[in-house]
Amino acid sequence: MIVWVNGAFGSGKSTLVDELRPRWPEALVYDPEMIGYVLREIVEVPTGDFQDLRLWRRQVADLAVGLVKEYQRPVVVPMTLVNPGYVEEIFGVLKDAGIATHHFFLKVSEDVLVKRIDARSFTPDDPAQDERVRRWCKSKIESCMAAVDTLPRDTVFLDGELSPRELADDVLARIGAVPGR
C-alpha cells in the first residue's frame, strides 16, 4: 500500500508524516524530492522544477513500486504533486503494478500557507537562498490550490489546519491501519 500525502508547500505534509512515523512504525517513508536532488546533480533542469523531468516521474513511480514489492511494507510519500498529467502518469504506474494507493490532499487557506512558509528556514546559513526558496514556494500556491479540481476522484481532502495528531488519526482510520501491526 502507498499513502501519498499531497498538498501545497506549507500545508503540513512533512509534519503529518512525522506524526505518522512513531504511530505506524512498519511504514517506510519515501521522499521523492531526493530523486530530484540527485537528478539536479547530474542533468540540467531547464524549468527549475525537477517534476518536469520525465526521468524523475519514472524513477519516483518505479522506486515506490520497488519499495512496496521488495519490502512488503506500506510506503508513505509526502510530496506535492499537482500537475494533472504527472499525477496520472505516476499513479497509473502504481495502479498498473497492483498497488493500493491512498491519496490525501491537505487543504489549507492561502493566508495560512504564506504564514507557514514565512516561518520556515530552508537554508539557515544562507538567508538569500532561504528567501529565494520561500518566494518559489509561494509562487506555487495558486497552482496547488487550483489543482484541487483536477485531482483523482478518490482523493481524500483533509483540513490541513487540524492538529497533526487529528490528521494522523484520520489517515490511519481511513486506510484501516492498525499501528504496530
Structural domains in the chain, CATH included, are 2-169 (3.40.50.300)
pLDDT digits (tens, 9 = 90+) for 81-124: 999 999 999 999 999 999 999 999 999 999 999 999 999 888 88
For residue 80, give the 3-state DSSP assignment: coil
Q: Which amino acid is at 35?
A: I
> In whole angstroms, what is the distance from residue 22 CA to residue 14 CA?
13
Judging by DSSP bridges, how do beta strands 156-159 and 28-29 pair with one another?
unpaired
> In whole angstroms, what is the distance from residue 67 CA to residue 63 CA?
6
Cα–Cα distances in angstroms (integers) from residue 127 to residues 74, 124, 130, 132, 140, in the given order:
37, 6, 5, 9, 20
pTM of the model: 0.93
